[in-house]
Structure 1
Amino acid sequence: MKVKNSKLLLGAVMALLGAQGVSAETVKVGIAAEPYPPFASADAAGTWQGWEVDMIGAICTAAELECEISPVSWDGIIPALTSKKIDMIMASMSITPERSKTIDFSDKYYNTPSSIVGDKRLEMDATPEGLSGKILGVQAGTIHREYALKHFAPVVAEIKEYQTQDEANQDLAAGRIDATQADSLAMTAFLESDQGQMCCEFKGDAAGDLDILGPGIGIGLRQSEDELKAKLNNAIAAVRESGQYTEISDKYFDFDIYGE
């Protein structure tokens, strides 16, 4: 089965029959419109690429779904799902109790730590004591923001919010903030850039908080769409068992992104 890249269609060329709540001929997969390398970003021609884009293709093919990528602003992606503008979310969205009040999730398809990256000239670690008095940048609407507000707000000088992680990274490189909290893999791409190598370094992973950080990243779905959820769970398992998951991941990472 071929992936239709030219029209941003991913997966098998088959209509979804009988899946609850999905009436369109194609299943619209919401991804964040903001670039988030190495997971998803658009090239100069506007074609989306990255680990998560490749995984969308693999999972949709295994589930025998015809999938269309639909970029949506991150802060509006859950409303887009619940209002049926899109049919599922694959945008590095963590499975959390708070989000599960509004939407449902598939099984996880990857899990990486939430990390602190900071100015390499400053001594700090990923603890309240280590960040005391520092200015910490976070992306709005993320689990990293929620974690920072809960664990670091009482001790940091300021928690500064940004619409995109790239904006936080730019302020970190410019010295306008002391550190940022974000997904460790997303920050790896920044630290490998010329700018990131000059200014910054990993300071450590945030201590676990299952209520906020959750058990991993899942596909966001509308509640009660049990048939679609089952298709996707089976597809995730099939992609892993076939070795395709490792094949895709090895193009981007030198470790098992699936996590424990």
Structure 2
Amino acid sequence: MKLKSLVLTAAALMLGVGVAQADIKKVRIGTEGAYPPFNSVDSTGQLVGFDIDIAKAMCEKMKVECTFVAQDWDGIIPALLAKKFDAIVASMSITDERKEKVAFTIPYYLTPGNFIAPKNTTLTDISPAGLKGKTIGAQSSTTGSVYLEDKYKDSEIKLYQTQDEANADLAAGRLDAVLADKFVLYEWLEKTDAGKCCKFIGPDLADVNPQGTGIALRKEDNELREMFNKAIKEIVADGTYKKINAKYFPFDIY
């Protein structure tokens, strides 16, 4: 009798897990929509970009129906916690501070930080001493803005709601330099007319985003987090990730 009871209990537990997994059929994904080439809004009003394509590929692996919600960056974590959506796929760098509020998947890409400046700049030293007294821009509430405020205390730091606004002020001559993720800056420099004004200065700064970029979820949503973790590994293993990567960049970002 005891053995039979144990078998029945185990079967019930397995059934319970199956039911829980089957319950996740729809996932709402929050993204910024103002961070090309990772996420932006096209001329038809649709969200597009690397983050969107990667998210769709993961949703296909997870066999769930995904919908996308555009959300301003500064309010994106509060909106997740308020259950406006279930996951953030928006090039969010994994940081210890953010881990206090949300849970992260394994990284789905790695990116260093970089400075850009006007092509006619005489700046070559990007250390805090080298940029003393200079005006530097960054998008607010990003690892770049935190990095600047922590290390460049003798520079004037100007923060912007979007990366595009920071880039525009640099192009207009109102900034000496901008700090952001290398791949976002590469897109602007290489693929826009406005970006022709400027160039990278200094080496890659790996310590701007040392933990990589992950998908943020509410801490209690462990099952969904593991589903995303599994999906990331699967799209890397079967070549899907490589195809999406090649669509946006001539170099590997994973």
TM bucket (normalised to shorter chain) is 0.7 to 0.9
Task: From the two aligned structures, give the one with the greater helix fraction.
Answer: 2
Q: Helix, strand or coil: the match of 1:227? A: helix
1:216 is displaced (CA, Å) by: 0.4
Residues 201-240 of structure 1 correspond to what in structure 2 (within 5 A)? 201-205=199-203, 207-209=205-207, 213-240=209-236
Q: Helix, strand or coil: the match of 1:132? A: coil
Cα 1:53–1:224 change in 2 (3 A) is same
Q: Helix, strand or coil: the match of 1:175? A: coil
Q: Which runs of 4+ in 1 moved over 6 A?
A: none
C-alpha distance in 2 between matches for 1:106 and 1:58: 16
C-alpha distance in 2 between matches for 1:226 and 1:56: 18
TM-score normalised by structure 2 residue count:
0.87
C-alpha distance in 2 between matches for 1:98 and 1:19: 30
Counterpart in the other structure of 1:98: 97
Q: Is the CA contact 1:110–1:217 (under 8 Å) kept in the aligned structure 2?
A: yes
C-alpha distance in 2 between matches for 1:245 and 1:213: 21
Q: Is the CA contact 2:93–2:209 (under 8 Å) kept in the aligned structure 1?
A: yes
Counterpart in the other structure of 1:18: 20
Residues 47-126 of structure 1 correspond to what in structure 2 (within 5 A)? 47-124=46-123, 125-126=125-126
C-alpha distance in 2 between matches for 1:230 and 1:126: 40
Q: Is the CA contact 1:59–1:232 (under 8 Å) kept in the aligned structure 2?
A: yes
Q: Helix, strand or coil: the match of 2:51? A: helix
Q: Is the CA contact 1:39–1:51 (under 8 Å) kept in the aligned structure 2?
A: yes
Counterpart residue type for residue 36 of structure 1:
Y
Q: Helix, strand or coil: the match of 1:117? A: strand
1:18 is displaced (CA, Å) by: 2.1
Q: Is the CA contact 1:126–1:206 (under 8 Å) kept in the aligned structure 2?
A: no
Counterpart residue type for residue 148 of structure 2:
A
Q: Is the CA contact 1:109–1:236 (under 8 Å) kept in the aligned structure 2?
A: yes
Q: Is the CA contact 2:25–2:64 (under 8 Å) kept in the aligned structure 1?
A: no
1:205 is displaced (CA, Å) by: 4.1
* Corresponding pairs, count: 235
C-alpha distance in 2 between matches for 1:40 and 1:240: 20
TM-score normalised by structure 1 residue count:
0.85
Counterpart in the other structure of 2:177: 179
Deviations 1:110-161 (A, max 9, x none): 01111101122222243212212210011111110000001112x21x1011
Identity of aligned residues (%): 43
> Match for 2:162 among 142, 161, 164?
164
C-alpha distance in 2 between matches for 1:30 and 1:18: 23
1:204 is displaced (CA, Å) by: 2.5
C-alpha distance in 2 between matches for 1:64 and 1:172: 43
C-alpha distance in 2 between matches for 1:43 and 1:102: 31
Deviations 1:45-99 (A, max 9, x none): 1111111111011011111221100111111100011111110000000011000
1:17 is displaced (CA, Å) by: 5.9
Counterpart in the other structure of 1:3: none
1:208 is displaced (CA, Å) by: 3.8
1:25 is displaced (CA, Å) by: 5.5
Counterpart in the other structure of 1:190: 188
Deviations 1:220-259 (A, max 9, x none): 010032111111101000000001100111111111111x
CA RMSD of aligned residues (A): 1.9
Runs (5+) with no aligned partner, structure 1: 1-15
Q: Helix, strand or coil: the match of 1:93? A: strand
Q: Is the CA contact 1:110–1:218 (under 8 Å) kept in the aligned structure 2?
A: yes
Counterpart residue type for residue 134 of structure 2:
K
C-alpha distance in 1 between matches for 2:144 and 2:116: 12
Larger Rg: 2
C-alpha distance in 2 between matches for 1:87 and 1:47: 19
Q: Helix, strand or coil: the match of 2:183? A: helix
Cα 1:98–1:44 change in 2 (3 A) is same
